[in-house]
Structure 1
Amino acid sequence: MRPRAGFLGVLLGLLLAHGAGTQRAHAPLKPQRVQFQSRNFHNVLHWQPGKVPAGDLSLYFVQYKMYGQRQWHNKEACWGIRALLCDLTNETSAVQEPYYARVRTASAGVLSGWSTTQRFTPWWETKLDPPVMNITQINGSLVVVLRAPDLPYKDQKGKNISMENYYEIVYRVFIINNSLEKERKVYEGAHRVVEIQAPASRSGYCVVAEMYRPMFDRSSHRSEERCVKTA
């Protein structure tokens, strides 16, 4: 659980909400490198502290809005915090819409100005983790079962919503011959269950997989190798 501010945070929060501060905005205190980091639509705002005295216990206040809106909204769970990040996944769930977020610092009764992100569109900018992969051997063949990583969204029945609801996903499967250290792509397509003829290799082989988004020409990282020993 992230540390939350006490009375001081509440007081500063009230002042911020009413557009006032204990002193005028102090430029060196402004948070630096304010940006979204997004994986599988988990959208987390990160920043670095400005120039604060050594040992200072600064408090941070976060707001967000959708592009085109005039009013900023307070993120209550990130209002007067000491952490350098804030989870805005729920606030940015319309993934094809662009958003902004901003952060300001309070330190020793002094308020900084706001530091604002660049425009952030989750659908365009989120990075994909590799697919979850399981393999079994059946009668000399490999059966590879692939699954896209979990998303933070669920349907009305409480079931996980697939990444395939948002993108055209192509799965790629590669086999690495351990003795020759050569890699061969054995499948590329949309199927999540793939049967492959197991290679003949005295030293065994390994299987890896990745996901590819043709619209963006972007691939995920590869899954961890799953290795099979042959008799």
Structure 2
Amino acid sequence: FFQRKKNENFSTLRLIDDCELFFLSTGPSAILSPPTNIRLNSYNMNLVLSWDPPLGGPLGLYYNAEYKSSVSTYRTGCVNISTLECDFSSENISVYGTYTSRVRAQYGVQSSAWGQSNNITLDKDTLIGPPSVSLFSNGAVLEVDIKDPVFTISNLRNVYHLATYNVSYWKQGQDTKEKMITQLHRMPLNHLNAWSQYCVQVQINTYRNLNPGKPSNITCESTTNPNEAPWLPAVLVFVAVVITSVIVAIVIYWKCKSQLTCPKNKLLEDFRDVSIS
């Protein structure tokens, strides 16, 4: 009997110890792990840190994020945020600077260890977005208009003085592509077939950035008659509008002359007849 009682007491104590161990490992007093998958990225010269929550962490976490350059100490970027991203772009950063960052989780008064990010140098590592491309038809010539992507800090030409546009164009339905390199924002595509549709795609090359620029959307436009004056279509449209306006005005005038549309004329005639009689 005493041996069985002793075994029961031992089992009870062991169960209590296991429960306490479980509470210590999962409750608020457990050691809080740092965020995971920490990455520092740049797109069009911004500087953004992102991360994933700690593995097995509780709900309701807040985060603190800091950054530093290769010549400075850590500076505060975001404090007590619940999102999984901190944008340092509004801080005093340089387009030629090398940066790293860190983030830690906060749960009440408890903080995790700092989690470290990768290093990036903005002008060498930023991902350059696609340029905007517009096409204008001028007979058998297509005018290509290129606009640089908007940078968060500075602009493309100030950062990359030797940047060029890699222009690819092809006749729709054909696999063969013509390629040319230029620094011009506006350029003609000559020697095209009349009454044909051509497509254009442009990519920026900086010769210094480690990442290739994202190519633009494919833009297509049709050529017209090479012997047709470039102002002729506009004149024809204008003449058509004028003729249409004149016809509409004549129709309205004749309707107003009729008694059905303008009953005031009939009333005047009736009044005149009554006066004469």
- Which category describes the TM-score, using the shorter chain as reference length? 0.7 to 0.9
Partner SS, residue 120 of structure 2? coil
**CA distance change for structure 1 residues 61 and 138 in 2, over 3 Å: closer, same or farther?**
same
TM-score normalised over the length of structure 1: 0.76
> What SS is found at the alignment partner of 1:29?
coil
Runs of at least 5 residues in structure 2 that lack an aligned partner in the other structure: 1-27, 225-277
The CA deviation at 1:217 is 6.7
2:64 is aligned to: 61
Matched, 1:38 2:32: no
* Other-structure match for 1:195: 188
- Which residue of the partner structure matches residue 142 of structure 2? 142
Q: How does 1:1-231 map to 2 (within 5 A)?
A: 26=31, 29-53=33-57, 56-69=59-72, 71-75=73-77, 78-91=78-91, 93-107=93-107, 109-153=109-153, 161-167=154-160, 168-185=162-179, 187-197=180-190, 199-200=192-193, 204-216=197-209, 218-229=211-222
Q: CA contact under 8 A between 2:40 and 2:100: conserved in structure 1?
A: no
Higher alpha-carbon deviation: 85-94 or 95-104: 85-94
Counterparts of 1:113 and 1:126 in 2: how far apart (Å)?
Answer: 28
User: Which deviates more from structure 2 when the two are superposed, residues 174-183 or residues 134-143?
Assistant: 174-183
> How large is the RMSD of aligned CA atoms in angstroms?
2.4
* DSSP 3-state at the match of 2:49: strand
Q: Which amino acid aligns with 1:163?
A: L
Distance 1:193 1:229, change over 3 A: closer
Cα distance in 1 for residues equivalent to 2:30 and 2:90: 30
Query: Deviations 1:160-210 (Å, cap 9, x if unpaired)?
Result: x4301111211111112222232221x202111111116227662211111
The one-letter code of the counterpart of 2:174 is: L
Q: How far apart are the structure 2 equivalents of 1:123 and 1:92?
A: 15
Counterpart contact for 1:142–1:198, Cα < 8 Å? no
Aligned counterparts of 2:210 and 2:112: Cα–Cα separation in 1: 40
Q: 5+ residue gaps in structure 1?
A: 1-22, 154-160
| TM-score normalised over the length of structure 2 | 0.64
Cα drift, residue 229 of structure 1: 3.6
Deviation at 1:85, TM superposition (A): 0.4
Structure 1 position 142, deviation (Å): 1.1
Aligned-residue offset at 1:96: 1.2
Answer 1 or 2: higher relative contact order, Cα 8 Å, separation at least 6: 1
Aligned-partner residue type, residue 212 of structure 1:
N
Distance in 2, Cα, partners of 1:228 & 1:214: 30
Conserved in 2, the CA contact under 8 Å of 1:179 and 1:202? no
Give the C-alpha shift of residue 219 in structure 1. 3.0
Which deviates the most, 206-215 or 176-185? 176-185
Write the letter of the residue equivalent to 1:36: L
Structure 2 counterpart of 1:72, one-letter code: Y
Q: Which moved more, 1:174-183 or 1:137-146?
A: 174-183
One-letter code aligned to 2:193:
A
Contact residue 150 and residue 162 of structure 1 kept, 8 A: yes
Larger radius of gyration: 2
